[in-house]
């Protein structure tokens, strides 16, 4: 984890200033020192951004990705996914059999589990919904909503048109189409 006051942490805190309670959540933001281009958010308000993502993207794209991750939480994607992950996770089962329960896991234990497990498990439909959420998230805060598309383009430039930073993600062109072409589903009010 990048220590408070470090260059990475200072930059992230500047990007998310004023977003501690975005969309009714109670969010805390920290940087993982990890070269992969990734980020995730959890139902308890934990938002983690890899230093590799901060290296790869300008501030507005970083914020777009954060909006995407918050979208997974807000749209209840991660809760359902994480729960099923945890229930089959060896570390979780060990904690449970030691007399604990899920509520007894510390947030760092949960973070460790999530770090390994949850983020690659969203359905492609959830990913597209989180992208649309991010666009609305930016728009409502008078930020450039196009930054979401640009962040996907950054991933595309780095990783090609495949699944981007997570193999379970829809292809990057598919994600961009989803944002550019309104469809009945896009107008369903889910974002």
Binding site residues, Zn ion, CB under 5 A = 127, 130
Start-to-end CA span in the chain (Å) = 31
Min. distance of Cβ 133 from Zn ion in angstroms? Answer: 10
Residues in CB range of 189: below 8 A, 6 or more apart: none
**Least distance (Å) from Zn ion to the CB of residue 69?**
7
- Planar angle of CA 77, 81, 84, nearest 5 degrees: 150
Q: Over 43-109, what HEC string results?
A: CCCEEEEEHHHHHHCCHHHHHHHHHHHHHHHHCCHHHHHHHHHHHCCHHHHHHHHCCCCHHHCCHHH
Closer residue to Zn ion, CB minimum distance, 95 or 178: 178
* Active-site pick, 69, 136, 146, 185: 69
Nearer to Zn ion, 9 or 127 (CB): 127
Residue 136 known to be catalytic? no
Considering beta carbons, is residue 6 or 171 the nearer one to Zn ion? 171
Nearest distance in Å: CB 170, Zn ion? 10
Residues known to be catalytic: 69
């Amino acid at each position: 984890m990048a220590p408070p006051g470090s260059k990475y942490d200072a930059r992230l805190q500047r990007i998310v200033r004023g977003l501690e309670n975005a969309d009714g959540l109670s969010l805390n933001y920290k940087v993982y020192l990890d070269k992969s281009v990734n980020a995730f958010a959890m139902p308890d308000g934990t938002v983690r951004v890899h230093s590799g993502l901060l290296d790869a993207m300008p501030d507005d794209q970083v914020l777009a990705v954060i909006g995407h991750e918050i979208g997974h939480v807000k749209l209840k994607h991660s809760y359902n996914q994480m729960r099923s992950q945890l229930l089959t996770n060896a570390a979780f089962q060990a904690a449970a059999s030691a007399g604990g329960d899920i509520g007894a896991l510390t947030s760092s234990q949960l973070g460790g589990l999530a770090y390994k497990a949850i983020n690659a498990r969203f359905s492609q439909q959830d990913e597209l919904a989180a992208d649309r959420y991010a666009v609305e998230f930016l728009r409502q805060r008078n930020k450039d909503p196009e930054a979401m598309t640009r962040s996907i383009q950054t991933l595309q430039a780095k990783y090609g048109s495949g699944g981007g930073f997570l193999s379970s993600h829809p292809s990057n062109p598919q994600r961009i189409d989803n944002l550019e072409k309104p469809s009945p589903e896009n107008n369903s009010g889910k974002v």
